[in-house]
Amino acid sequence: MRTLVIGNGAREHALAYSLSLDPSVTEVHVAPGNPGIGGVATLHPGIRGEDAAAVVALARELTPDLVVIGPEIPLVAGVADALRAEGFAVFGPSGSAARIEGSKAFAKGIMASAGVKTAHAEAVGPGASDEEIRAAIDRFGPTWVVKDDGLAGGKGVVVTPDRTAAVQHVHDVHAAGNPVLLESFLDGPEVSLFCLVDGETVVPLLPAQDHKRVRDNDEGPNTGGMGAYTPLPWLPTDGVQRIVDEVCVPVAKQMVKEGCPFSGLLYAGLAWGSDGPAVVEFNCRFGDPETQAVLDLLKTPIGGVLAAVANGTLADLPPLEWEDGYAVTVVLAAGGYPEAPVTGVPIEGAAAGDGGRGVRAAGVAEDPAREGGLVSAGGRVLNVIGRGATLEEARAKAYAELETIDLPGGHYRSDIGLAAVEGRIAIPE
């Protein structure tokens, strides 16, 4: 099977790496990719994922048996539709189905019709006056949840007990021309559950937990994600099944009913409260950085799994097999991230094409001064992955891998998965 992955981050590196291990996969191409992915795939730099014409032209040239679209922006822009119109098998939802991430209002409507538990929400458009904004803020909180209702890659959310900060974020999002969604705060630990969805067929992957705040102990601003671990030792034993039955299947069925069936990866971001799961948000693609950990434990070769979704035969796929134990991924971020990442800094200990190690590259570029060398080129520079029989061991391996890499000025969280190891994650009574 010849495969083409669209995207350029650590998630796409993880997908490409897993595809490269699948004996049925003969070629892995990534567009545009990044130089850190070069060891496991042929890169096609210069192709922007959201440029449907360029992606289709590349697909015509490569004639892949499977195209996997990683990020949400091309999905929301309808790149999967453009490829399907040309007869390509695509892993990723149509533009219409990708609204589950692209439009919070659409997602809320689907959940309301499907009877799925989620936060109460109110939209505040960019035309609202300061008085209207303050009145809306006072109908919520504390704690306030203020979301950018555009595509913000997980970075557009402010969760704060500070009313002034909440009002300010509304103004900031409006200044960027986007509407805001105010939401009631959902209490309880967060869960990311990724489900393969093919119409009404839903197959869950392992549950994971992301760490969104930039600093240890969940301090500092939200980021795109600073690390993740999987599975979740504190989740009730029927936790995954409950999320599938109470959230993902009803949503998948509702989308079929509304004429926009979902095909691809439905990412349910949830809070596990006293009554069980409630939806914080949906995404229409694999999550980053959880995917890097989750795919590290997937034993079933991934090419056949993704192709089954793309070809509409997920219901016939045998149950997925998983490695025992745990996986942890830790993000090494550039100095200044998330506010103003410093780029162009040489990275020691990770080189272009290091595909086989527990490193997944994201914001990196070739170092013009060192052949094969890399420099930082984005906020989240790379991920390291550790796997172990226990979560403690997986953490130790990930941090040991991180010790072998040096990014001057870079930073990472030292507590990924630690609260779970120490039994400090409690489900509210």
Binding site for ligand GLY (CB under 6 A): 154, 210, 225, 283, 287-288, 290
Distance, CA of 289 to CA of 218 (rounded, Å):
16
Q: Shortest approach of ligand GLY to residue 257 CB, angstroms?
A: 26
Residue at token pair 């991230």: 337
Q: Shortest approach of ligand GLY to residue 40 CB, angstroms?
A: 21
Q: Which residues of 300-328 are buried (b: 16+ CB within 10 A; e: fewer)?
A: ebbbbbbbbbbbeebeebeeeeeeeebbb
Distance, CA of 399 to CA of 155 (rounded, Å):
25
Distance, CA of 375 to CA of 421 (rounded, Å):
34
Identify which of residues 288 and 367 has a Cβ nearer to ligand GLY in the complex: 288
Helix (H) or strand (E) holding 220: strand 219-222
Q: Shortest approach of ligand GLY to residue 110 CB, angstroms?
A: 18
Q: Shortest approach of ligand GLY to residue 278 CB, angstroms?
A: 17
CB under 8 Å to 36, separation ≥6 — which residues?
13, 350, 352, 353, 354, 359, 360, 361, 362, 364, 374, 382
CA angle 324, 328, 330 (to 5 degrees): 165
349 — alpha (psi -120 to 50), left (phi > 0) or beta? left
Residue at token pair 């990275």: 347
Task: Please state, in angstroms and as integers, the Cα–Cα distance from residue 115 to each residue in 107, 109, 112, 240, 263, following that order.
Answer: 12, 10, 5, 18, 21
Identify which of residues 68 and 133 has a Cβ nearer to ligand GLY in the complex: 68
Residue 174 structure tokens:
């409006």
Q: Shortest approach of ligand GLY to residue 406 CB, angstroms?
A: 26
Distance, CA of 308 to CA of 366 (rounded, Å):
36
Q: Shortest approach of ligand GLY to residue 154 CB, angstroms?
A: 3
Distance, CA of 45 to CA of 163 (rounded, Å):
44
Residue 7 structure tokens:
């995207």
Q: Shortest approach of ligand GLY to residue 6 CB, angstroms?
A: 16
Q: Shortest approach of ligand GLY to residue 124 CB, angstroms?
A: 22
Q: Shortest approach of ligand GLY to residue 425 CB, angstroms?
A: 17
